[in-house]
Structure 1
């Protein structure tokens, strides 16, 4: 039993940091109404600020992966956790809006170096259980989506504690996890040879896109990321337009992440029956859920809304760990870190644009139109995944 627990140290460290990364990110959408009042800004402005954070996050995916190939994952992950911790401490104070946006960007920097590097490390440490390990990793991140809105709701309802306390706790935790990661991951990671990145040119990464299966799946991930990030950023605001109070909307928003435990199931299932099959099913479920959410009439009731959000959540969370496992299977070993970084830069870049798009479209045309744009992107991703499955067979 002791040996078994010791073997999980790398997974525990990376999952804990990923929980913190998503916690800091998911704390912002429930705060949008309060931030709008506090700073006198519109949804469009808040959406663009959120997009700035995600764009920085996206742009760091390839550099982080390529750097980890050369100097090691432990150093990159440790540095990222420390930067995220510093950002949390900045947000713990009542600061001007421009400083708040700067701190959001710093969150993007600190958290942006983690996921790509963690996926590569876990696929090396847990070779025979990659799908299951990534399922646990993504579940930890998704559970942050339950914890963050709950923590924000508690602070907003409290007369003694402000929402700044959430970021204070996050900042201190980030610094502590940086120390833990340096110790635990350093003992498990193979020594980098320091030469792999010198042998790999940008043309080598670009050549990956000449493979139809790889290029097609990148399109799938881009469509999903755009749709998912747009929904996550503005779901609380959208739910309020259906007649829910802000507190109830936050609770329903949390249900999107409660179902994240499905990731451990789909990750394990992908190891057994094939990742692409699971991908097609999960994307289909997410597409149906989002369409149902858009079609819900005003005043339909909380039960119906929770049901549609849960269906969308089951499909979305079920897809995420399988995506990582499938990409690692497609990538050649010599460019696995940088290659995954390239893909995540593209998909997160598309996802980063979504909050800005939804914020602008919803401000001038309404949330139904904005969410319909997201549904089209998700439906395209599901169709392309189906085509890949048919051609693979």
Structure 2
């Protein structure tokens, strides 16, 4: 009995790196997903416009995107543990800034400062964590990344729910705006939403301390300070000389363009082109994230049957979902199309990370992933603007047809990768 218990504890200890990496990623996305539901509260309590709030959120995401390559390159030199611990600590500091109530005129600048720190701290995690997990679990990389991405996706549901549960935050904010406009309203809602960020700050500190304590400085061969060779940015750009690598990056850029454009405007599309009520469109939209649990299955499957077959199948499934959205009508058919699209897109994500981890040389793993993720997020940031412009010009069906074409290109590109891979 004692021996069996000890064996189980040792087996659980083998997953320390995965558990802590995934929990930090959950917290990182939780903090970011908490802001959009709070925008109506911020707007009413502090008297700011939607444009101002949108600019603040864009600035946070710009800082997040800008950290992808530097964090990966830094991890190549000083090790993954140091970068992840520093990122969690900075994100926790940002959450703590958001938890501190400030009087006008410093209230809004304080919120923006906290948002920027959250973007800075969370921006270093994913690139470095993917590299770390691939080294720690070489035979189970797909499964490990499936867990990581699934917890990140679940945070998109958890953050809005937490805001409702913490002292009835959203309802209290709305009532406070009516009963105590201006500064009084700001004080009335502060006890609700600031509590959430205070909890986030404490969680970030605890996770950073646990990561520093439980994850060794060297968890696998090659994850040591100074392992990265010289050469600067050029050695990362040299990765694109490999036709298979360049083709796969093109595949992921096409996917990111299609997925982010669809996610940004799917409810609007279902209302405008599908003729569905807004409430129904919102319910179907949530289904897109509920099916993210498929990442656990596709990640594990890629470890068993190979990455490229699973990549091709999931991209084809996502493409089918978008094509169905262009042709179907009615709640049931539209819901089925959304589920098919979600299964394909979420299923692709952990396998993408596993494939990149396998093809990027060990000495350039962090910076190489950082370059790729910068390109992905650039395409993802551009996509909503393009979709919005096309929708205004010729309609939502044309805009989503463009996204479907991008997914078709991704599927075709997978064939090119297979050929180039030999």
- The CA distance in 2 between the partners of 1:138 and 1:358, in whole Å, is 26
Question: Where do residues 168-317 of structure 1 align in structure 2 (5 Å cutoff)?
Answer: 168-186=198-216, 189-190=219-220, 193-236=224-267, 242-245=275-278, 249-295=281-327, 297=329, 300-301=330-331, 303-317=332-346
1:389 aligns with 2:395: no
After superposition, the Cα gap between the structure-2 partners of 1:123 and 1:389, relative to the gap in structure 1 and judged at 3 Å, is: same
Greater C-alpha Rg: 2
1:87 pairs with 2:100: no
Contact kept in structure 1, 2:244 and 2:418, CA below 8 Å: no
| Residues 50, 355 of structure 1: 8 Å contact kept | no
Q: Deviations over 1:206-258 (max 9, x none)?
A: 21111110001111111222222333344455556554446x65543332222
1:62 touches 1:340 (CA, 8 Å); kept in 2? yes
Alpha-carbon deviation of 1:165?
4.4
Note the residue ranges of structure 1 that are not aligned, 5 or more in a row: none
Q: C-alpha deviations, 1:64-91, integer Å up to 9, x for none? A: 1111111111111111112222323344
In 2, are the aligned partners of 1:136 and 1:264 still within 8 Å (CA)?
yes
How far apart, in 2, do the equivalents of 1:353 and 1:296 lie?
Answer: 27
Distance of 2:349 and 2:108 partners within structure 1: 33
User: Closer, same or farther in 2 for the Cα pair 1:24/1:375, shift >3 Å?
Assistant: farther
Call closer, same or farther: CA 1:192–1:278 in 2, change over 3 Å: closer
Compute the TM-score of the two structures, normalised by the length of structure 1: 0.85
Q: Are 1:23 and 1:148, in contact at CA under 8 Å, matched by a contact in 2?
A: yes
Structure 2: which 5+ residue stretches go unaligned?
A: 1-7, 174-188
* 1:329 and 2:358 correspond: yes
Once residues 249 and 106 of structure 1 are traced to their aligned partners in structure 2, the CA distance between those partners, rounded to angstroms, is 34
CA-based RMSD of the aligned residues comes to 3.2
Q: Distance in 1 between matches of 2:400 and 2:52?
A: 18
Higher relative contact order (CA 8 A, sep 6+): 1
Q: 1:373 to 1:82 in 2, by over 3 A?
A: farther
Q: Deviations over 1:322-380 (max 9, x none)?
A: 00111111111221122112111221222233345456666777655554443333332
Residues 81, 217 of structure 2: 8 Å contact kept: no
Q: How many residues align?
A: 388
Q: Which moved more, 1:95-104 or 1:134-143?
A: 95-104
* Contact kept? 2:18, 2:144, Cα under 8 Å: yes
Measured against aligned partners, the alpha-carbon deviations of 1:114-161 in whole angstroms (never above 9, x if no partner) come to 011111111111122111111111111111122124334655653487
> Separation in 2 of the partners of 1:19 and 1:125?
19
CA distance in 2, matches of 1:177, 1:157: 28
The whole-number CA distance in structure 2 between the counterparts of 1:149 and 1:367 is 27
